[in-house]
Amino acid sequence: MLLANPPRFSWSLARHNQMIECPRKYAYQYYFSHHGWLSSSTELAKQAYRLKKIVTLPLLVGQAVKQAIRNYSFTTNTESIEEHMTAMRNFIDQELRRAYLQTRDHGDDWYHEPNVYTMMLEYYQKGYLADYEIQQTKTSIERCVTSFFRSKTFRELQSIDLIQILPQEAFCSVELNSVKVFVSLDLLYHKPTTNEYIIVNWQTGKQAHDHLTQLALCAFYIQQTYNVPLNVIQIRNEYLYSGGSHTYYVTAKEIDAFHHTIKESLMNMHLYIEHSEYNQPKPLSAFPMKQSTRCKQCVYQELCEKTD
């Protein structure tokens, strides 16, 4: 089955990771859900797109926390830290409550307009949120809010007169080997006195191993965009759930390794493409399913069960 007007080919770390995790999941996410929001699309495209839009509760918490941080103003601080913490908690609570009510009360609306309404995976799978999921969410919110106001980044940005916060789009990109490469930056600021560029990633989940490819991608983007050497680029991961942070400086050798990773990744991605010029994928059957314990938490599980 040929896709009508397939999406333009691009690369991101999320796309790379999904291809490695499961080619079938990769196929649904980046190809066979395309145009699933249109009434004229195939039933497969509609269902794949619908499932693609399902979000997990931890992901919703992370999105709400990051939006609350983006809303925070470092230039107009007349209230106390305690008042700011309360306001941030209230904002996050409101965002999650809105998502929950849409999930609980608008299931039929979501089915027909998944790009408008929210559906939580946990609720979709069992019809309710378990007590432990609610408690974990409350714990995550409290830890993330508290850690933000204790973070190294927050302390630095109190000296806003010495720092320039640089505007960023939701998804930045840079061209590499004629391919658009996407990179996600939560915060970017510049210290004119030292000419340092600091990239901040807010980590709202439990602390995991930092991905070297992600660090190198961020550094490469700043290097290319602002034409600066690697030694003035800091990448700081702020672990809001557990507290603390880690700052990295990426080396030229690590940038070379990053280029090698992307080159190899692109070669593997093109193995699943029938016509490179149009990014036309091979048939769905050419994307194998990887059986693993992750399948139970995969939004596309019901599609795989149909094709088993």
**CATH entry 3.90.320.10 includes domain 156-263:** yes
Those residues of the chain that have pLDDT short of 50 are: none
The token pair at 117 is 């309404």
The string of pLDDT tens digits covering residues 35-47 is 999 988 999 999 9
- Residue 4: the pLDDT is 67
- Tell me the C-alpha distance between 182 and 172, whole Å: 6
Alpha helices in 72-211 (DSSP H): 81-105, 107-112, 121-126, 131-150, 152-157
Which of helix, strand or coil describes residue 121?
A: helix
- Tell me the C-alpha distance between 18 and 294, whole Å: 12
Interacting residues of 168 by C-beta distance below 8 A, sequence separation 6+: 185, 187, 188
- The sign of the torsion formed by the CA atoms of 26, 289, 38, 126 equals negative
Whether the CB-CB separation of 258 and 264 falls below 8 Å is answered with: no
Which burial class, exposed, middle or buried, applies to 131 when counting CB atoms under 10 A from its CB (0-12, 13-18, 19+)? Answer: exposed
Say how far residue 127 (Cα) sits from the centre of its chain.
Answer: 26
The strands making up 179-183's β-sheet, listed across from edge to edge, are: 10-11, 179-183, 172-176
- Residue 79: the pLDDT is 76
- Tell me the C-alpha distance between 142 and 42, whole Å: 43
Cα-based angle 244, 250, 255 (whole degrees, multiple of 5): 140
Predicted structure pTM score: 0.92
The number of helices, as runs of H, and strands, as runs of E, in the chain is 12, 10
Distances (CA, A) of 157 to 77, 166, 189, 201: 12, 12, 9, 15
Domain residues of the chain, as ranges? Answer: 32-150, 156-263
Whether the CB-CB separation of 277 and 185 falls below 8 Å is answered with: no
How many residues would you count in the chain? Answer: 308
**Which of 173, 253, 183, 258 lies closest to 216 in space, CA to CA?**
258
Which of helix, strand or coil describes residue 117?
A: coil
The token pair at 158 is 């109190």
